[in-house]
Structures are given as C-alpha cells and as structure tokens.
Structure 1
Amino acid sequence: MGADAAGGMKSGSLWPVELTHGPVTLRPWRQRDRRAWDELRRRNAAWTAPWDSTRPPESIEPPLTFAGMVRQFNRRARLGTMLPFAVDYRPDGQPAVLAGQLTISGITHGSASWAQAGYWVDQRWAGRRIIPTALALGADYCFFTLRLHRLEVAIRPENVRSLRVVEKLGFRHEGYRSRYMHVDGDWRDHEMFALHADEVGLGLLHRLKHSA
C-alpha cells in the first residue's frame, strides 16, 4: 500500500507499508539493509551523535543488534504501535540509496489518537528536502489513513536543522519540556511541536509543494 504522486492515501493499509513521493520512498527495514546501515551510521557518527537517542544507565532493556532492531520494529509495526521506516532516495534518477530514517512511534488510538515522529538524514544528502518529504508522507498517512488526531515532534533546541523541518511543514510550537528524553548520554531538554488533524488541510505533502 502507498501514496500516489499527489500524496493521496489508499485506505485500509496494514503493515508492511511503502510510501513514495518523487525520489523519496519510505519502506520497512529489512535484514539485508545491515551492510548499508552499518556504513551509513559509521560515516554519519559525528553528524548524528548529538541528536541520537540513548538508553539511561538504569534501563532494563538489553542492547539491540541490527537484526534485533529490525525484528522489534516489524513486530511493533504489525501490532499497530509503530511505523518504522527506512528512507530511500533516488538521486537524479540513479538507483535508490538508503538515506535516513523516519520512525513514528507511540501510536495510540481511542481517546488519545496520537503518535510521535523522529527522523534523521545522511549528511551527504542534507538540504535536498528528503526529510521534509519523508515527514510529510508519514504525517499524511497518520492523519488520512490511520485517522489519528495528533502528531508530535520533540526536538533539542540546539538542533537547528530539525527545527527547520517542522517549521517548513507548519508544525505548531507548543513549548519546552525539561529533561524530556535521553539523548547523547544524558537527559536533554526538548522543544515540542505538534499538528492536529483539523490543521493539516489538504495534507503536508501539498503544503510542502507550495512552500518556499
């Protein structure tokens, strides 16, 4: 299941889900992505380290291997609590390359009807609207297919590039949360951004297409 070129969503989608707009595709992680993942993370270690989530010392969860991560992602996706996407990019018509990650987690239906998104992109592809497009695709899927009411993004105040993504897509700033999430080895403050379904109009892909 997926999105057409104009961003329209097919209803009734179940995991696995693949969404495409232009040169950007969101797809499930696969075990065969391990080599590309290892190379991507190694090459981007300094680029992503200040923004990478980490586990506090008191965490009772064991460390995950890549294989374990993929299994966990797909298990949670099948349960409907997560959309763990690999972000592929086709540069200038060339074969697709793994370019980053978009994870929509904490999906809750019922009276809450919300989720939270997080993302990062390979430094060599930064500035090509890959992550704004990926977040727009994921958000439109959440609002128009899953019928969620609310999508949140938590960003460290120092992360200027991530702040530009939510600003470009019109996420509303809701405030400051002290020591909100364990990132780069400590509990870090975050700025909170959100959108509600009644604020997105024709969708975020449409909004991105018409943004400067």
Structure 2
Amino acid sequence: MLKLPLLRREPPALEGSRVRLRAPRNSDFSAWSALRRESRGFLEPWEPRWAGDELDRSGWRRRMRRYHEDFEAGIAIAYLIFEKEAGRLVGGITLGNIRYGVAQSAQIGYWTGERHAGRGYMQDAVRTLVVHAFETMRLHRIEAACIPGNVRSIRVLEKAGFEREGLLRSYLRINGVWQDHYIYARVAGDPGPAPARREA
C-alpha cells in the first residue's frame, strides 16, 4: 500500500503594499546566506552573537527545524520578507513568544539586508504582520524591544504605530553583551497605520 507524504503545515503567506511574507523553505538557503553574509557588519551590533556555523547549511537546517517546531507548538511564526515586484529577498521577520489566555500577546523581531535598509520594506513588513496578528490571530498586544542606539529600528516601530513604554535594563545579550532595550508596544484598537493586508 502506498503511503502519502506527510504534509507540513506552514503559516499563510501575507502581502503588504510593497512586500510579501512567507515561511522560509530549504530552497531559500543560498539567497538567505548570501544576504546575511554581505550584511554581517551591519547586522551583528543588533543581534545575538552569531554561531560558528551561522551561514553554513548545518546552521540553516538547525534554524529550519526550530522554525517548524516553534510553529507547530504555536509559540512563534517566522517569515522571510521578499520585495513584491522583483521577488528579491530583503530580510526576515518573526512573531515570537506567542501567548493566549489572559495575555493574548507576542513579540516581534526583524532584520533587513544592508542594501535594502531605509527603503520602506521593513516598515511595510511590520505593519503587515501586525495586522495579521490582530485580525487573524486575535492577539491583543504586540511588543518589540529595541536597543536605544538603533535609530533605524526605532523609526520603523514608531512609523508602524508602536509606542515607547519604558526602558528594560540589561534585557537581552546582544553580540555577547547584555544591553538595555526600549520596550515598544502596540495594542489592538490603537490609532495608527493599518495597511491593507491579505493572505497570498
């Protein structure tokens, strides 16, 4: 008797005005590693310390397993961000620490390749994912943590309607050093940008 292959569930693709978000696939490795490699100096000051095999296939396979496990467990959703017209990879965005019950909250994190920074892609990606989180996932609160010196990220969050709520001391270990972070949040029903978004 023939056995049908197991179908792996993945989050729905989302479309904003300028970007398309979809789950990472094995075939994305080359584009992902190339963009991360050329942007390493741009990204490292704002990220956890890179592993020794960060850009190798072994690191990619481990990352993919974690993405799938977290999605199946309902605690995180990872997306890659693609330019809508040309289809080029421009970065990544994750909705993590998803909680329901009395919290109905999650945290958003993101990165963009250096050559794509400052072009509005990330702002569109954040807005698109936030709309999906509120309207489809029925979350109530989305948080984002940002190092005070990360001016680009602060601009993205504030333009996407997030409000700064305070300072978290020695909050995350970034590039090997414990760093203070501003905490930003957006709550369902807050006034602010709400772009058209549809599942692709």
- TM tier relative to shorter chain: 0.7 to 0.9
Aligned position for 1:205? 195
Distance 1:185 1:41 in 2: 19
Aligned to 1:67: 61
Q: For 1:181 and 1:122, how far apart are their aligned partners in 2?
A: 22
Contact in 1 for aligned 2:11/2:77 (Cα 8 Å)? no
Q: State the secondary structure of the residue aligned to 2:195.
A: helix
**Is residue 164 from structure 1 mapped to residue 134 from structure 2 by the alignment?**
no
State the percentage of identical aligned residues.
Answer: 34
- Deviation (angstroms), 1:22: 2.9
Q: Please report how far the alpha carbon of residue 74 of structure 1 lies from its aligned counterpart in structure 2 after TM superposition.
A: 1.6
- Describe how 1:1-212 pairs up with structure 2 within 5 A: 15-54=10-49, 65-90=59-84, 93-94=85-86, 96-200=87-191, 204-205=194-195
Report the alpha carbon displacement of residue 200 of structure 1 after superposing the two structures with TM: 4.5
CA distance in 2: counterparts of 1:47 and 1:146, whole angstroms: 32
Counterpart residue type for residue 112 of structure 1 = A
- Which amino acid is 1:180 matched to? Y
Question: What is the number of residues matched between the two proteins?
Answer: 181
Query: Gaps (5+ residues) in structure 1?
Result: 1-13, 56-63, 207-212
Q: Could you tell me the TM-score, scaled by structure 2's length? A: 0.85
1:54: Cα distance to partner?
Answer: 3.3
Runs of 4 or more, structure 1, over 2 Å off, are none
Distance 1:15 1:167 in 2: 30
Q: Greater relative contact order: 1 or 2 (C-alpha under 8 angstroms, separation 6 or more)? A: 2
**Alignment-mate amino acid for residue 134 of structure 2:** F
Unpaired segments of 5 or more residues in structure 2? 1-8, 51-57
Letter in 1 for 2:154: L
What is the TM-score when the length of structure 1 is the normalising length?
Answer: 0.80
